[in-house]
Structure 1
Amino acid sequence: MSEIEISIVSPVYRAESLVDKLVERIISSVSKITDSYEIILVEDCGLDNSWQKIQENCNKYSVVKGIKLSRNYGQQHAIQAGLDASAGRYVITMDCDLQDQPEEIDKLLSKAKEGFEIVVASRKNRQDDFFKKMLSRIFYSTLGYLTETKQDRTVANFVCYHRKAVDAMASLKDHNRYYPMLQQMIGFNYTKVDIEHAEREDGRSSYSFKKRLKLAIDTILTFSDKPLRLTVKFGVFLSFLSICGAITMVVLYIFSDVKAEGWASLALLVSFFSGIIISVLGMVGLYVGRTFESVKHRPTYIVQEKIN
């Protein structure tokens, strides 16, 4: 059994106005459950004063630990840094914007103690704008289709892990760390708990459309080969259409007076198939590039500074 009962991990990015509230509410909630806990705040190089706020809270509370990454690695890698530094028997991951409410931690923890290694918070009545909800729906639908997995858009980073699950995910060497997929890969007992999703306490989400698109592409390339299989099927389909077109032209040439202009159809076909070939080569290149990144065995993040 770990010396620490509960670790709370929260990636922090451009959230200097939220750090104090986050720490106070976590301490208020978790101290009612146990005295054996730690709070790990991972600053993902947001270029604001978030790290200074983390330092102040580390000096004020011995249970707060700060990790500053050397550059912006992204939310999933910041979560990984926190998980790697955690020592608790149970580890809670949560966003720093307080839409994941610290008061709900007890609900996740109680469910985990029933024998579940992974307990995920399912957000009821998401407090997001229409555009963000629409992007979320498109993202999860596309990701689920291309990775051939079940994706639930009501869940995010508010999760309670048993130490066994944390260690199992750490053993996976995928360079891209998308935790909803890793949770499915390790195959431990998994369940969901309904929670209330709060409005963002302050500021705006820094998770832009560009970042969401990059996350989607990275995840699909890491966890699925379906895009490659789809291009093969598309190529076979185009070949079938070409054969049908050739047969049609021969029949028309023999049994009717219709004569196809050779150069026009040839130019269109060359342009069309050139585009297809370039697209397929580009997709293969993305997979090769992803493999190249993996075999270099570079660390997924680098820590610049630690406190406590």
Structure 2
Amino acid sequence: MKLSIAVPWYKSRDSVFALHDKVCAAFAQMADFDQLEFVFVEDCGNDGTWEKLRELAAADPRVKAARLARNFGQHHTLTACLDLCTGDWIVVMDCDLQDRPEEIPRLYAKAAEGFDMVCARRGKRQDSWAKRMSSRCFAWVFSRLSGMPYDCEIANFRIFSSRVLHAYRTMREATRNLPGQLQWLGFSVGYVDVVHGARYSGRSSYTLTKLLTLAFDSIVAYSNKPLRLAIRCGALLTLLSLGMALWILVRKLFWGIPVEGWAGVMVSLWFIGGMIMGNLGIIGIYLGKIYDETKRRPLYVLAESINIAPPAE
């Protein structure tokens, strides 16, 4: 059998050879496999990572290396990796060695029990407090808005069969989120508790803005609950306004209390105006996503590649 190691690269030149060597050492412990391929795609970080990948691919023909024409983002780069994989089992991992290659044999051992996919569940995460909290907040909101359970201790690190890979390749929507898409497919999933390693070098490229953008795009892609929440808020405001109007009428007719509250009227107008604009914004985001899908642009563009056969005409 063949094992594919799919890794998206972005500004991690110092870990290129270290990751390769550690994966080779782990592969040597896996007797069920006789072939190994690396699928490394670089997301145009322009920091020297691509030069390191070219050097590695020249030294090891098992390494398929490609560079995107521009920065497309992690999950689009992962899509490029998985489109190039040819293995019977595929391992997806990050490039910074926080996903420890030493855990790969354990992931496959669990998969051999009859699972189509096995996810690595991180224990004590080697991340900042802010990043851990943002992950938990995203998991909580995503689970409730999408209807799918989401564990913040599970990221991209996992192994899955070629059957899962072929199903994943049929999903060509513009908004990409690998864990969410694989979970949506519904194959049998197992879990292995792993040690979360320290970052080999550098720092995370995910800023707070990028994390919020990814979170919001993922929620919109997998749920229409924000639209339904907007409808519920509108209905609630309507009921409240009718109740207030009835109360003002009763006060005027039975107690003769004059209508007061210029400030209250203005606050209400601003509040309702803000709700209307917010709801229109939510609708606009969904329309924008529909527009992106109808353009049918490629999910990524390869600028150059090494040890990769050109596609058949």
Q: Give the alignment's TM-score, normalised by structure 1.
A: 0.96
Matches within 5 A, 1:188-227: 188-227=187-226
Letter aligned with residue 297 of structure 2: R
Matches within 5 A, 1:14-29: 14-29=11-26
Q: Is the 8 A contact 1:19 1:53 kept in 2?
A: yes
Shift of 1:268: 3.1
Q: Aligned with 2:291: secondary structure?
A: helix
Letter aligned with residue 128 of structure 1: D
Q: Aligned with 1:238: secondary structure?
A: helix
- Structure 2: where are the runs of 5+ without partners? 308-313
Q: Return the alpha-carbon distance in structure 2 between the equivalents of residues 265 and 128 of structure 1.
A: 47
Q: CA RMSD in A?
A: 1.3
Q: Return the alpha-carbon distance in structure 1 between the equivalents of residues 265 and 94 of structure 2.
A: 56
Shift of 1:230: 0.3
Match of 2:52 in 1: 53
Letter aligned with residue 18 of structure 1: S
Letter aligned with residue 214 of structure 2: L
Q: Is the 8 A contact 2:8 2:40 kept in 1?
A: yes
Q: Is the 8 A contact 1:77 1:177 kept in 2?
A: yes
Q: Return the alpha-carbon distance in structure 2 between the equivalents of residues 97 and 35 of structure 1.
A: 26
Q: Return the alpha-carbon distance in structure 2 between the equivalents of residues 103 and 266 of structure 1.
A: 65
Letter aligned with residue 239 of structure 2: F
Which of 10, 15, 18 aligns to 1:13? It is: 10
Letter aligned with residue 8 of structure 2: P
Q: Which runs of 4+ in 1 moved over 4 A?
A: 262-265
Match of 1:148 in 2: 147
Matches within 5 A, 1:1-308: 5-33=2-30, 34-261=33-260, 263-308=262-307
Letter aligned with residue 14 of structure 1: K
Q: Return the alpha-carbon distance in structure 2 between the equivalents of residues 35 and 13 of structure 1.
A: 29
Match of 2:311 in 1: none
Q: Return the alpha-carbon distance in structure 1 between the equivalents of residues 263 and 198 of structure 2.
A: 59
Deviations 1:245-280 (A, max 9, x none): 001101111122421237544433332222111111
Letter aligned with residue 282 of structure 1: G
Q: Is the 8 A contact 2:40 2:65 kept in 1?
A: yes
Q: Which moved more, 1:203-212 or 1:51-60?
A: 203-212
Q: Return the alpha-carbon distance in structure 2 between the equivalents of residues 61 and 26 of structure 1.
A: 13
Deviations 1:49-97 (A, max 9, x none): 0000000100111111101011111111111100000000000000011
Between the aligned residues of both structures, percent identity stands at 38
Shift of 1:183: 1.7
Q: Return the alpha-carbon distance in structure 1 between the equivalents of residues 108 and 66 of structure 2.
A: 24
Q: Aligned with 1:17: secondary structure?
A: helix
Q: Which moved more, 1:262-271 or 1:208-217?
A: 262-271
Q: Is the 8 A contact 1:9 1:79 kept in 2?
A: yes
Q: How many residues align?
A: 305
Q: Is the 8 A contact 2:29 2:105 kept in 1?
A: no
Q: Aligned with 2:241: secondary structure?
A: helix
- Structure 1: where are the runs of 5+ without partners? none
Q: Is the 8 A contact 1:174 1:222 kept in 2?
A: no
Q: Aligned with 2:14: secondary structure?
A: coil
Q: Return the alpha-carbon distance in structure 2 between the equivalents of residues 262 and 30 of structure 1.
A: 75
Q: Is the 8 A contact 1:42 1:66 kept in 2?
A: yes
Change (3 A) 1:127 1:238: same
Q: Aligned with 2:88: secondary structure?
A: strand
Q: Give the alignment's TM-score, normalised by structure 2.
A: 0.94
